[in-house]
């Protein structure tokens, strides 16, 4: 048996044991690792039992929630998070569109996958009920992203100027898998800044593998996402009035180290592909022709305001763009969502993001009032990670991507752990005090 197969089985068994004896959150950590390891698609899969590990980890999450539902519900009630209302309304819109979708079979299949994803998010929200579980879940994501970077490194460019065949569960193509790595940039910066020497070294190793993976995969959208998210977070670290002593110097050091590492791993093939972003006149080389796809999706939605379902754009592309554009994708999560679920569904999606931001902003203000600057910058890092993914997803179809909803999950968990929990405790104490005052002597 290969070392990878043995390591996977040990991790799998360890997470199962930890779920029952330590914390139900371990079941979600397992789900995250299975997502990235994607054992069914790896070369070492022949050496492990042929079962659906993703399904098993999801069932384990449900069992963990069932065993401690009362405790988890007290610590992380769903009703306090407006984002879940918008998520469920978006899901409902997918089921409504299913009655008239242009590709009913595909629409039904992907709607069911979306349902499963939202169930995972809802369950994980309750399981990740503490600072420790939030940090551990973020690290599970970073370790998974590092594995993808490692896999890209040992595979090398095997299809033209990029790596193919190393996809994750829901993103088999190269652009999709590259987008899953984008939020890792800001999160590694955060942990490299706050961690001890061992953590800093580990972050550098993870960052190097992830950066090399992004270079080899050669995704322009993901490059834009990393630049935007990483750049914004570094500016926040350097110029925020809440920065700590030595933080600006550390931010500059991280920036220099990151740029130096990027220039070291980036080769001529990478820079040649990225340079096409400077030449929008050449639509084929730069990808600027996607703007025509986006405009076409708007025209489709004008004619079909309630949406045309999953893969509906692909079917109508020849009508709106020309016969040579048969079976073309819209290449943007924004316009993908617009074409799939129409104006109503797209509005639900925007409302979901706005609700996440509003609560995240309240959480930031609260932790600052408590003097918890580290929590403030963690929330900022998560916000920048989400922004980076949305920027990368602006050029590929990622409207129902797992990582998008993981980033939203991390932010709502942070808002609960750092803000809502304390508000609930304060309200409960206030009610108790009022009852005591009204009680007869």
Report whether 175 contacts 140 (CB < 8 A).
no
- The answer on 80 and 180 residing in a single domain is yes
Please give the average per-residue pLDDT across 176-205, as a whole number. 89
Q: Which is more confident, 425 or 82?
A: 82
> Is 433 within a domain?
no
- The answer on 270 and 209 residing in a single domain is yes
> Is 75 within a domain?
yes
The runs of H, that is alpha helices, within 156-267 are 174-179, 184-194, 197-217, 220-239, 247-265
Q: Which is more confident, 48 or 344?
A: 344
> Is 161 within a domain?
yes
Beta bridge partners of 168: 171
Per-residue CA distances from 180 to 101, 231, 360, 396, 433 (Å): 28, 18, 22, 12, 48
**pLDDT(239) > 50:** yes
Structure tokens that stand for 50 in this block: 């042929």
**pLDDT(175) > 70:** yes
Q: Which is more confident, 263 or 126?
A: 126
- The answer on 6 and 145 residing in a single domain is no
pLDDT digits (tens, 9 = 90+) for 55-92: 999 999 999 999 999 999 889 899 889 999 999 999 99
Cα 342 to Cα 98: distance, rounded to the nearest angstrom: 12
| Residue found by looking up tokens 């409302």 in the block | 351
Which distant-in-sequence residues (6+ apart) come within 8 Å of 262 by Cβ? 211, 215
**pLDDT(431) > 50:** no
- The answer on 355 and 246 residing in a single domain is yes
> Is 435 within a domain?
no
Domain residue limits at 123: 68-428
Beta bridge partners of 171: 168
- The answer on 9 and 77 residing in a single domain is no
Q: Please state which of the ranges 74-88, 191-205, 259-273, 416-430 shows the lowest mean pLDDT.
A: 259-273
pLDDT of residue 51: 82
pLDDT of residue 275: 61
Q: Which is more confident, 165 or 429?
A: 165
- The answer on 113 and 90 residing in a single domain is yes
- The answer on 346 and 358 residing in a single domain is yes
Structure tokens that stand for 198 in this block: 């061992």
Report whether 272 contacts 207 (CB < 8 A).
no
Structure tokens that stand for 377 in this block: 């910058």
**pLDDT(383) > 90:** yes
| DSSP classification of residue 22 | T
Cα 420 to Cα 414: distance, rounded to the nearest angstrom: 9
- Averaged pLDDT of the chain: 86
Please give the average per-residue pLDDT across 372-393, as a whole number. 94
Helix/strand/coil for 431: helix
The runs of H, that is alpha helices, within 240-332 are 247-265, 268-275, 283-286, 290-303, 312-321
Kindly state the percentage of the chain with pLDDT values over 70. 88
pLDDT digits (tens, 9 = 90+) for 244-287: 777 777 777 777 776 666 665 665 565 565 566 555 444 454 45
- Which of 67, 85, 103 terminates a domain? The answer is 67
Beta bridge partners of 159: 162
- The answer on 76 and 55 residing in a single domain is no
Cα 85 to Cα 352: distance, rounded to the nearest angstrom: 8
Q: Please report, to the nearest 10 degrees, the dihedral formed by the alpha carbons of residues 285, 289, 291, 297 taken in order.
A: -140
- The answer on 240 and 314 residing in a single domain is yes
What's the N-to-C CA distance of the chain in angstroms?
74
Q: Which is more confident, 345 or 262?
A: 345
| Residue found by looking up tokens 């834009």 in the block | 224
- The answer on 173 and 47 residing in a single domain is no
Q: Is 156 left (phi over 0), alpha (psi -120 to 50) or beta?
A: left
- The answer on 77 and 61 residing in a single domain is no
Structure tokens that stand for 226 in this block: 């990393």
> Is 439 within a domain?
no
> Is 434 within a domain?
no
pLDDT of residue 282: 45
> Is 382 within a domain?
yes
- Which of 17, 47, 67 terminates a domain? The answer is 67
- The answer on 32 and 120 residing in a single domain is no
> Is 369 within a domain?
yes
Please give the average per-residue pLDDT across 182-196, as a whole number. 89
Of 407, 412, 401, 364, nearest to 387 (Cα)? 407
Rg, C-alpha atoms of the chain: 23
The pTM (predicted TM-score) of the whole model is 0.91
Q: Which is more confident, 309 or 248?
A: 309
- Which of 49, 67, 85 terminates a domain? The answer is 67
Ranges of beta strands (E only) in 9-88 are none
When divided into structural domains, the chain yields a total of 2
Q: Which is more confident, 321 or 160?
A: 321
């Amino acid at each position: 048996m290969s070392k990878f197969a043995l390591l996977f089985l040990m991790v799998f068994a360890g997470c199962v044991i930890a779920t029952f004896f330590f914390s139900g959150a371990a079941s979600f950590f397992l789900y995250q690792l299975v997502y990235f390891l994607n054992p069914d698609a790896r070369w070492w899969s022949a050496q492990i039992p042929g079962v659906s590990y993703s399904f098993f980890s999801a069932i384990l999450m449900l069992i963990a929630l069932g065993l401690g539902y009362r405790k988890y519900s007290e610590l992380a009630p769903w009703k306090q998070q407006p984002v879940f209302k918008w998520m469920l309304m978006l899901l409902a819109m997918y089921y409504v569109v299913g009655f008239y979708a242009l590709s009913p079979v595909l629409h039904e299949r992907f709607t069911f996958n979306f349902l499963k994803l939202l169930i995972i998010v809802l369950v994980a929200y309750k399981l990740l009920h503490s600072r420790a579980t939030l940090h551990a879940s973020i690290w599970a994501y970073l370790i998974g992203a590092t594995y993808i970077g490692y896999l890209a490194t040992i595979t090398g460019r095997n299809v033209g100027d990029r790596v193919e065949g190393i996809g994750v569960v829901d993103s088999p193509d190269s652009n999709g898998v590259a987008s899953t790595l984008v939020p890792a940039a800001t999160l590694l910066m955060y942990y490299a800044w706050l961690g001890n020497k061992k953590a800093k070294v580990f972050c550098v190793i993870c960052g190097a593998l992830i950066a090399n993976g992004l270079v080899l995969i050669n995704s322009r959208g993901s490059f834009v996402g990393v630049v935007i998210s990483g750049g914004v977070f570094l500016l926040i670290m350097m110029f925020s009035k809440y920065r700590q002593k030595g933080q600006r110097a550390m931010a500059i050091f991280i920036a220099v180290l990151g740029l130096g590492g990027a220039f070291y791993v980036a080769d001529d093939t990478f820079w040649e592909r990225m340079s096409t972003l400077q030449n929008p006149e050449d639509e084929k080389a730069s990808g600027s022709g996607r703007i025509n796809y986006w405009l076409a999706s708007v025209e489709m939605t004008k004619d079909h305001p309630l949406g045309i379902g999953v893969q509906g754009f692909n079917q109508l592309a020849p009508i709106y763009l020309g016969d040579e554009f048969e079976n073309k994708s819209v290449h943007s999560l924004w316009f993908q969502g617009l074409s799939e679920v129409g104006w109503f569904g797209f509005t639900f999606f925007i409302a979901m993001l706005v609700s996440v931001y509003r609560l995240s902003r309240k959480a930031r203000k609260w932790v600052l009032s408590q003097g918890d600057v580290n929590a403030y910058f963690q929330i900022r890092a998560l916000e920048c990670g989400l922004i980076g993914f949305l920027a990368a997803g602006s050029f590929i179809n990622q409207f129902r991507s797992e990582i998008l909803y993981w980033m939203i999950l991390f932010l709502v968990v942070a808002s609960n752990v750092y803000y809502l929990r304390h508000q609930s405790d304060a309200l409960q104490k206030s009610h108790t005090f009022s009852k005591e005052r009204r009680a007869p002597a």
